């Protein structure tokens, strides 16, 4: 079974530029998550989708971050404009359709973003 795919793996941009990350979840997984992991910290949930609807985006900085999951499969996360403090690893995860808080989340390899 193929895992969660993410691209690009690394991205370096200057502040105030925009950037987009792509995620393809495990086939059949209805729930998709985007996390931000700052160096030395644990992953922090940014947004959760169930199919193509948003379940939780309470920690997404909506003035600069946006995410979409058209057709309920792939997802993109965008930052515009980027700030220095956005330097982090952006992790995508997916889980099955059970919708339970005990569902195992399967993570992709992440995109390491460096903002200069």
Contact positions with another protein (CB under 8 A) in 47-76: 48, 55-56
Peptide bond between residue 19 and the one before it cis (omega within 30 degrees of 0): no
Residue 28 binds another protein, judged by CB under 8 A: no
CB of 84 vs another protein, minimal distance in Å: 21
Q: How many residues sit in the footprint of another protein (CB under 8 A)?
A: 28
Q: Which stretch binds another protein (CB under 8 A): 14-22, 64-72, 78-86, 102-110?
A: 102-110
Both tokens assigned to 21 = 């990350």
Both tokens assigned to 94 = 């997916």
CB proximity list for 11: less than 8 A, separation 6 or greater = 19, 21, 111, 112, 113, 114
Q: What is the DSSP letter of 55?
A: E
Residue 88 binds another protein, judged by CB under 8 A: no
Q: Which residues bind another protein (CB under 8 A)?
A: 4, 9, 31, 33, 40-45, 48, 55-56, 91, 93, 95, 99-110
């Amino acid at each position: 079974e193929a895992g969660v795919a993410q691209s690009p793996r690394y991205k370096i941009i200057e502040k105030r530029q925009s950037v987009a990350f792509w995620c393809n979840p495990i086939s059949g997984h209805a729930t998709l998550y985007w996390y931000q992991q700052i160096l030395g910290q644990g992953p922090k949930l940014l947004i959760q989708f169930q199919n193509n609807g948003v379940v939780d985006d309470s920690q997404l900085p909506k003035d600069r971050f946006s995410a979409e999951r058209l057709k309920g499969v792939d997802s993109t996360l965008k930052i515009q404009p980027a700030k220095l403090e956005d330097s982090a690893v952006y992790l995508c995860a997916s889980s099955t359709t059970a919708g339970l808080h005990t569902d195992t989340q399967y993570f992709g390899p992440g995109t390491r973003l460096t903002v200069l």
